Structure 1
Amino acid sequence: MSYPHIDPVIFRLGPFAVRWYGMMYLLGFLAAYLIINYLARYRRLDLSSEKVADLLFYCVIGVIAGGRLGYVLFYDPGFYLQHPLQAFAVWQGGMSFHGGLLGVIVAALWWCRRTGIDSLLLGDILVTAATIGLGLGRIGNFINGELWGRVTTLPWGMVFPGAGPLPRHPSQLYEAFFEGIVLFLLLWLLHVRQVAKGVPLFTFLAGYGALRFMLELVREPDAHIGLFWSSVSMGQMLSLPMVMVGLAGILYCRRRGLGR
């Protein structure tokens, strides 16, 4: 299949450029705002629209700070030890999902402590809303022609610009489908079934970790890191703890029979 070569810039206004990747972030947070408002009413959580907007502000800070710090620590610590000021150059790219997740967790826990909101129930709602943004973000990666997959002979392999002449897995689209659509539908079903609180949150951790681990098998590892022990990527190493914490959390919530 031919790579569509979509211009990553939607339009320009003088020196200002609106890019598809940034637009995906904006759409993701807009979707999160709507979903959080809806699920808060559905799960009878006392969250006004003003509180949701306030919560998202802290989550945005958590995503950016955690995502950047995670990339610095997990993916290129040697470079940033030599060039520490470059750690603040977020406009040059370099964000880690796992770092962003930790940043959001810290921000959400702090916000819950300040407002007295049930952190487990809020976590159930937040992770459900986050899946839309995850899927949109991967579509943004696809439009940018980055984070491509490994070489493949499958008929839907694509030749990405800058990735050599051989067709590769469009792994960004795989991730958009499984980590975005499939995971969202699974979590939404858990809300409909009104499972014990905490179960959707830990299902997200286990589900995303397992899906990311498997999809890393067809995703090209970072060139400056490669594979550990010639077989395991950094993404897989960071995803395994998510699976273990998620499974342990699901068992805990189910056995304790936490309120719905």
Structure 2
Amino acid sequence: MFLATLLEEFGYDFTGYSRDSLQRRIVRIMSLWKVAELGGLLDKMLMDPSLAGSFVQQVTVPLTSMFRDPSFFLDLRQSVIPYLSTYPLIRVWIAGCSTGEEAYSMAILLKEAGLIERSLIYATDLNPASVESASNGLFSWENLGEYTKNYLNSGGTMELSDYYSPKQSRFGFNDELRSRMVFSTHNLAGDSSFNSFQLILCRNVLIYFRRSLQESVLELFDTSLENAGFLGLGPKETLRFSSLKGRFQQIGDQKIWQKIN
């Protein structure tokens, strides 16, 4: 009832999300909002529709980092980037971009391969607040040490400081990277494909979905990928038990698959 009304009234579809994960986050929101029952939570959003956005923001709590899992990005450099370099226009989709760290990481990889000027990175997320934050491209100094370490371990060939400059109390990436990026909201649970891509990264998102929604999203990625395109997933995600496993072959030891012609 709660999820159906949330979809009907506000257009947010969480019906395919993992019930355990969703329940934990809703219970936390109820505690923060001092609501004892789901009906009361729904009444608050119906009385003040702006709260629906806050609800979505808290349910889809962003968890990300630049060059997260450096060995994954090292494999992208070595196995995927050379293939992408054969295209006159490179299109990359970062699905579930959160606050943008992964999108900027991908832009740096393309820059260091000399490909950024003929690349477009589409970064999307269900959470409008995350998309706005990613578009601003401003990050906290307190995370810079971790980002720099990850960058070096991913095979970085420059200094991470070559790509950002101080912006008041934070730092922001330079305009050359940002000019090749498009940020927008997109709901993997219901929205359709919007372009064709040679690389799609959707890391640490499917683990929050139930099996049926996982299959639906993977079908969306298959439709969106060009032949011989690449799909990158999170360390706990796989195509091995999916109905799509026969359409892809895994590349190396990381969670990267190539679509079979």
TM-score normalised by structure 1 residue count: 0.28
The answer to which structure has the higher strand fraction is 2
The answer to which structure has the higher helix fraction is 1
TM-score normalised by structure 2 residue count: 0.28
